Structure 1
Amino acid sequence: MTRSVNVAIIGSGVVGSAFITQLANLQTKNLAFNTIYLARSSKEALYNTDYKPVDLFTYKQEPAKPVLGLDELTTFLVGAHRPTILIDNTSNETIANHYPQFIKAGISIATPNKKAFSSALQTWNDIFSAAEQDGAGLVYHESTVGAGLPIIGPLKDLVLTGDRVETIEGIFSGTLSYIFNQFSTPEASKVAFSDIVTTAKSLGYTEPDPRDDLNGLDVARKVTILARISGFEVESPTSFPVESLIPKELESVASADEFLQKLPEFDAQIQQLKDDAFNNGQVLRFVGKVDLKNNKVSVEIGKYPFDHPFASLKGSDNVVAIKSHRYPNPLIIQGAGAGAEVTAHGVLADAIKIAERIAN
């Protein structure tokens, strides 16, 4: 007997389109996903009032309707009287703030949207308080940290089974992983930091404005999520020290092009930091840290010996080390932590886990 769930998808951008392709080609035994709503953009959506499924192979060409408002969408999804999963492939904070209403209505959520779980602590509390009510939807967000890497699931398992997390330390930005892996190595190098940032942008590793990566806020959001799961009630990603890689003089320049043009003027300072580390047998890495024993959270440039696991990282990989009462030698999770395909895979895996629990 085949069980089924309804699916509503918001967002068909880089991650969203990868997710839609993976869902369209998914082959599962005895489990069917019926996409009854697909918001192609902030203005256009595909859906049928009789809940006939959207064709995921032709959705780009199909005539669209205006998107439903979030309250309208909730009413529409509930009206199908079927178990439903909302896939939010955006980074939209307004949608994230509506999660408690979706969840209270019995709609489950699978998402890579970090803002839902790393903004104000009250939003976090509202989401998970709603999920504890009778008849509420489920919430899965593995891809908010480390794309498709299994970080959140194992960490939650440690906490749920009574382990005491002591420290979490990791490289959580694929962009900054690539930049520092190229810049600071166990081999002597004079390659300029600004040149690597420019190369990373040309390869599509950075945001259109690299300052959105270099300011450290993306890492701070991920660290906030892991800290909260571990029981550390971090108020927001700006409530603890976050080291920015943007020279203060360049924080307010008008454009990304102007920023990249002027960045070489500030290479000497970080070059000196790299040289000092190298002379001590160390490399530089941009890391996020959660120290529950000392109630400290931080995002900063760290120094690691040449033989440390963080020093041997390649490409744009992420790595996290979780030290706990049961794991005095840290649990290490490493792999591709960025990219549309792996992020979409993490969201789809969450959707399947939810469907296995709620489908009928």
Structure 2
Amino acid sequence: AGLIGNTLLQQLRQQKEYLRQEQHINLNLVALANSKKMRFELDGLDIDQDKDALLATGETSEVTQFIARMKELNLPNSIFVDCTASNIAIGHYEDILNASISIATPNKIANSDSFAQYQKLKQAALIHGVKFLYETNVGAGLPVINTLKDLQNSGDKIHKIEGVLSGTLSYIFNTFDGTTPFSEVVKEAKAKGFTEPDPRDDLNGMDVARKILILAREVGWPLEPDQVQVENILPGPCLLANSVDDFFIALEQSNDVFQQKIQEAQQAGKKLCFIAQLDNGEAKVKLESVDQSHPFYTLRGSDNMIAFTTERYKNQPLVIRGPGAGADVTAAGVFAEVISVRRFLGQSSSKFNLKSPQKP
């Protein structure tokens, strides 16, 4: 199973007795899948076993068959948990919601595709009285989307959203102070596991763009992916490099570009931050210099920070800060959404049936 899915299983295992005794909730894991194996047990899989043992007796995994079987069972209070980062199950989301099965997922793909697709999924959940939950799409376990919804539902008006929405880029630019070449800072981030295997997948800003796009849609602005303006911070040779090794060679040769940026920022008493901004219906992602009066100036390590400027929080924005990546906090966010379905259903004691495809 994938890292987030496996961590979620561990958290379910640790909390099952507390939930049963203190919250009167019995979570019943009836299906589990990765890219190789899938297994169904109507009476529930034994989550005291690890994921390898659970899938040892499974059959060959096929997502269409998994979803068809899930729908055939027609179990009440069912939740489909997609812990993958791929599009393997995305095309089935609408079908799942139409079958009155809720979805909880950290996967950003569905919500950052076309606006029409985003609307279809929201509408399907509404029509069929189920939940499509994706708090962990932005900020992992941080309460970003729920806070935004609470502000709007209580009548507040969103004027501007700013965010450092990438733990990777937060770490890189919080670490880069000019004493170490930029290429070495990126190498260190990669060695510590902060970046994707190819750091360009982080440095190109597209993951941040998907996150600010999702927030824009939650506010009510019907933006398409190509309407998010993304600043390219990498010189051409870095983008055109044929391999990761070649990329680092090109990045080393471009160190002067980033050295100039950090020197200009420091001379002005500022620091560099890779910021996503939503203002007046426009979404932008860019590298900016911020001074000590800006909330992002205090960022350290790989923390995320989101600032909401609203009608009520006009003079001083509402700020959310904390770890914006990591299996523990992401899985915990998904877990919280599973529990929230019980509150949505309004039942004091329920047996919940989870179905979860996961990455290998």
Using the size of structure 1 for normalisation, the TM-score is: 0.90
d(CA) in 2 for partners of 1:351 and 1:115? 20
Could you tell me which amino acid in structure 1 is paired with residue 187 of structure 2?
A: T
Shift of 1:178: 0.2
d(CA) in 2 for partners of 1:198 and 1:147? 24
1:302 equivalent in structure 2? 288
Shift of 1:71: 6.0
The verdict on how the C-alpha distance between 1:70 and 1:102 changes in structure 2, with shifts beyond 3 A counting, is same
d(CA) in 2 for partners of 1:141 and 1:311? 29
Secondary structure of 1:223's aligned partner = helix
How do 1:162-311 residues align onto structure 2 when only pairs under 5 Å count? 162-184=155-177, 189-236=178-225, 238-292=226-280, 295-311=281-297
Could you tell me which amino acid in structure 1 is paired with residue 284 of structure 2?
A: S
1:87 corresponds, among 62, 66, 81, to 81
How do 1:42-81 residues align onto structure 2 when only pairs under 5 Å count? 42-48=35-41, 51-58=42-49, 59-61=51-53, 62-70=56-64, 72-81=66-75
Could you tell me which amino acid in structure 1 is paired with residue 247 of structure 2?
A: F
Residue identity over aligned pairs, in percent, reads: 37
d(CA) in 2 for partners of 1:231 and 1:357? 23
Shift of 1:316: 0.2
Deviates more, 1:91-100 or 1:258-267: 91-100
Is the 1:207–1:213 contact (alpha carbons within 8 Å) kept by the matching residues of 2? yes
1:97 equivalent in structure 2? 91
Deviates more, 1:160-169 or 1:174-183: 160-169
How do 1:83-162 residues align onto structure 2 when only pairs under 5 Å count? 83-133=77-127, 135-162=128-155
1:4 equivalent in structure 2? none
Shift of 1:75: 4.3
d(CA) in 2 for partners of 1:53 and 1:356? 22
Shift of 1:240: 2.3
Q: RMSD of the TM alignment (CA)?
A: 1.6
Shift of 1:340: 0.6
Unaligned runs of 5+ in 2: 351-360
Q: Deviations over 1:57-112 (max 9, x none)?
A: 32312322122433652443452432101110012224123211111110001110
2:324 equivalent in structure 1? 337
Deviates more, 1:297-306 or 1:71-80: 71-80
The verdict on how the C-alpha distance between 1:107 and 1:13 changes in structure 2, with shifts beyond 3 A counting, is same
Q: Deviations over 1:270-320 (max 9, x none)?
A: 21111111111111100000002xx21100001100343211111100001
Higher RCO (Cα < 8 Å, 6 or more apart): 2
2:304 corresponds, among 310, 318, 329, to 318
Could you tell me which amino acid in structure 2 is paired with residue 249 of structure 1?
A: P
The verdict on how the C-alpha distance between 1:205 and 1:153 changes in structure 2, with shifts beyond 3 A counting, is same
Is the 1:179–1:196 contact (alpha carbons within 8 Å) kept by the matching residues of 2? yes
Is the 2:112–2:213 contact (alpha carbons within 8 Å) kept by the matching residues of 1? yes
Is the 2:35–2:62 contact (alpha carbons within 8 Å) kept by the matching residues of 1? no
d(CA) in 1 for partners of 2:264 and 2:111? 37
Using the size of structure 2 for normalisation, the TM-score is: 0.90
How many residue pairs get matched?
A: 338
Could you tell me which amino acid in structure 2 is paired with residue 56 of structure 1?
A: I
Comparing both structures, which one devotes a greater share of its residues to helix? 2
Is the 2:296–2:305 contact (alpha carbons within 8 Å) kept by the matching residues of 1? yes
Is the 1:105–1:137 contact (alpha carbons within 8 Å) kept by the matching residues of 2? no
Shift of 1:262: 2.5
d(CA) in 2 for partners of 1:218 and 1:42? 24
d(CA) in 2 for partners of 1:196 and 1:341? 25
d(CA) in 2 for partners of 1:78 and 1:239? 40
Could you tell me which amino acid in structure 2 is paired with residue 202 of structure 1?
A: A
Secondary structure of 1:148's aligned partner = coil
d(CA) in 2 for partners of 1:322 and 1:176? 20
Deviates more, 1:215-224 or 1:269-278: 269-278
